[in-house]
Amino acid sequence: MKVKVGISNRHVHLSKEDFDSLFKNEEFYSIKDLSQKGEFMSNLKVTIKTPKGMIEGVRVVGPLRSKTQVEISKTDAYKLGVEAPIRLSGNLDGAADIMLSSPNGELMAKSSCIVAKRHLHVNTSDLDKFGIKDNQVLKAIIPGDRGGSLDNIIVRSKDTFTLELHLDTDEANAFNLKNGDEVEIIGE
């Protein structure tokens, strides 16, 4: 099967409590809908900070979630000197602590910071069509001068999902991939 690539730049999901602490009384709205239904790039940005460094202008992705989750690349993790584990979104086991700041405030987001594990979003109604299952492990074949393959791609299915391979900027740049490029997915 051929799928489009969606590249995740570093971003932050906020809990209601952390949102209120950083952005109390601020408007929070979508400036661009993301490919996964209901998810949006918001108007707000934070700075992420460690004792070693900081990265400004990190986008807050909406809607609010039950837990704050900060997704960065390994390149960012080295720059910030933070031991962020590679985890599927939503799994914050062993996630790193990281400081978030806005013009209104600052907070330590405990156990929030991960490097996102690559995964394939599949709408539940498409699983049978492709003969795959939720949580199945697949492989992507990437063409081109910087081609190769990526193992351990986990299928994540929901009835709101759109078919898309989610990679982070390190993975995309290593293979010279751009948003919307097509790659082939095969069984492992």
CA angle 47, 48, 53 (to 5 degrees): 110
Select from 23-31, 58-66, 97-105, 146-154 the region that touches its own copies (CB under 8 A). 146-154
> Is there binding between residue 59 and its own copies (CB under 8 A)?
no
String marking each residue 17-56 x if it binds its own copies according to CB under 8 A: ----------------------------------------
For residue 170, the minimal CB distance to its own copies (Å) is 4
> Is there binding between residue 3 and its own copies (CB under 8 A)?
no
| Residue the block writes with tokens 């979003």 | 121
| Contact call for residues 9 and 59 (beta carbons, < 8 A) | yes
Asked whether the CA dihedral 111, 115, 121, 124 is positive or negative, the reply is negative
> Is there binding between residue 161 and its own copies (CB under 8 A)?
no
> Is there binding between residue 181 and its own copies (CB under 8 A)?
no
Find the binding residues for its own copies in span 60-89 (CB under 8 A). Answer: 73-75, 78, 86
Taking the least distance from each CB to its own copies, the nearer of 118 and 156 is: 118
> Is there binding between residue 155 and its own copies (CB under 8 A)?
no
- The beta strands (E) that lie in the chain are given as 2-8, 11-13, 30-33, 40-49, 54-62, 69-72, 86-87, 96-102, 105-116, 119-123, 137-142, 148-158, 164-168, 182-187
Backbone angles phi, psi at 18, to 5 degrees: -70, -35
> Is there binding between residue 175 and its own copies (CB under 8 A)?
yes
| Token reading at 23 | 């952005």
Closest CA to 116 of 9, 2, 3: 9
Identified binder of its own copies from the candidate list 33, 146, 184, 186, rule CB under 8 A: 146
| Chain contacts with its own copies (rule: CB under 8 A) | 73-75, 78, 86, 117-118, 139-140, 145-152, 169-171, 173-176
